[in-house]
Structure 1
Amino acid sequence: MTTSAATPVHSGRVYRYYDLVMVAFVTVLLCSNLIGAAKAAQVTLPWIGAVTFGAGVLFFPISYIFGDVLTEVYGYGRDRRVVWAGFAALGFASFMSLVVLKMPVAPFMSDYQKSLEDVFGNTWRIAFGSLVAFCCGSFTNSYVLAKMKLWSNGRWLWTRTIGSTLAGELVDSSLFYVIAFYGIWPLEKVIQVAIAQYILKTGWEVVMTPVTYKVVNFLKRAEREDWYDRNTNFTPFRLRV
């Protein structure tokens, strides 16, 4: 496995599974944001009572697992490209939803229009909140994991996958619910749902740690890569690796 920090070697490599991981990441991101972002679900738990949370929490954390895998195996620079790809895809999906829903509807579909608006008619605040929270949270997650890998000299993978998710999801959940719902939902509900979202998302990371280990170990062997971001430029505002 390579552990060199020389950028030319890293940027010149061709990987077998990198593109597939990117596609999976973007797919999970789009589905979780378009389908589950605006719905608040509620379940009743023993000893706790009713817990309200965003429905997308069941699937969105998978994107953070992909982010952990990308940074751990391919490095921050490669993950940064995937984050920007996801940002562009999410931005286009929001724009397309807005345009399609604003187009004049055929008379025979007038009743169906409301159903489309209920599913895809995210307000501009929800769309904007998703974009900002995703971008800031994902870059925080990747940065923390890359730095923790250097500090630990590559040991204790579980500490950096969980630690980076604790940081990234804190940024994501805080930004999204404040931007999207402050002033629309009661403040106590915004805080309650944001806290529940954070706990559930980070809990997912803990539960999925054995799976993350298996995927990371498989990709490191298959790609012959184990990247350390020793000389990496950590600015998020570039596409070059």
Structure 2
Amino acid sequence: MDEATPHRVTASALHGKNLRYYDFVMAAFVAILLLSNVLGAGKVAQIWLPGVGYWPFGAGILFFPVSYVIGDVLTEVYGYARARRVIWAGFAATIFMAVMAWVVVALPPAPDWTNQASYEAVFGQVPRIVVASMCAFWAGEFVNSYVLARMKVATGGKHLWMRTIGSTVAGQGVDSLIFYPMAFWGAEGWTTQLVLTVLVTQWVLKVSWEALLTPVTYVVVGWLKRAEGVDVYDDGTDFTPFGASV
């Protein structure tokens, strides 16, 4: 089927209908979410900043914000209800990943296998940080999707850049406000000032990364809308986060 000119529809008009690329976008969201937590969360990298010197940062920040970009694409193209379904899928996958990591690390190693310490260093998880991460992700993604959907209706679908960046400011703000205090407040080596400094720094970096990816968001959103042939608006949508029907 050729790409069609998108026409405006309400999210409820698509209830129960299959869309061509929705499942692929869902898979991309969950994959990036899990991989950014597994491959990026445990490494502290550094970059050279002119006039500042070497600046450390969590490697996960390079890719985790991409999940927010895909969250924006989901809400913009498919509506809040379908984005909500993907957020719950990501949340469930993260829980399973955490449980699987805990079980595999806890299994007694074979006597001739000498990599247990390295394995624990990479995949061992602090329960407090895991819980903080999951709570922050859940709340932040729902705030991001809600704000974008509301802004789309309010602006009549105009100013996509303002909606994606504005929703990320809100969503990443909630994410950071939940994660860093829950994960590190009162922890050894973490002063109140350090928690607040890292919180604000990571929030600014994530929002900046979203802004830099705005041209990519425009291209992907435009292509998906033409491919699906619809432009979804959440007029009359039930914005409760507790549901998964589409």
TM-score (normalised: structure 2): 0.93
Matched AA of 2:80: Y
1:54 aligns with: 58
After superposition, where does 1:1-241 map in structure 2 within 5 Å?
1-5=6-10, 7=12, 9-109=13-113, 111-184=114-187, 185-187=189-191, 188-241=193-246
Cα displacement string for residues 164-222 of structure 1 (whole angstroms, at most 9, x for unaligned residues): 00110111122112212222242232222222211111111111100000000000000
Matched AA of 2:226: R
Matched AA of 1:204: W
Could you tell me how far apart the structure 1 residues matched to 2:111 and 2:185 are? 36
What is the CA distance between 1:140 and its match in structure 2? 0.5
Structure 2 alignment gaps of length 5 or more:
1-5
Could you tell me how far apart the structure 1 residues matched to 2:149 and 2:184 are? 32
TM-score (normalised: structure 1): 0.94
Could you tell me how far apart the structure 1 residues matched to 2:41 and 2:79 are? 29
| Percent identical | 54
Query: In the comparison of the two structures, how many residue pairs are matched?
Result: 239
Structure 1 alignment gaps of length 5 or more:
none
Cα separation, partners in 2 of 1:43 and 1:118, compared to 1, 3 Å: same
Give the root-mean-square deviation of aligned CA atoms.
1.4
Could you tell me how far apart the structure 2 residues matched to 1:38 and 1:173 are? 17
C-alpha contact (below 8 Å) 2:65/2:210 kept by paired residues: yes
Could you tell me how far apart the structure 1 residues matched to 2:8 and 2:81 are? 15
C-alpha contact (below 8 Å) 1:5/1:229 kept by paired residues: yes
Q: Which runs of 4+ in 1 moved over 6 A?
A: none
Cα separation, partners in 2 of 1:43 and 1:195, compared to 1, 3 Å: farther
Matched AA of 1:19: D
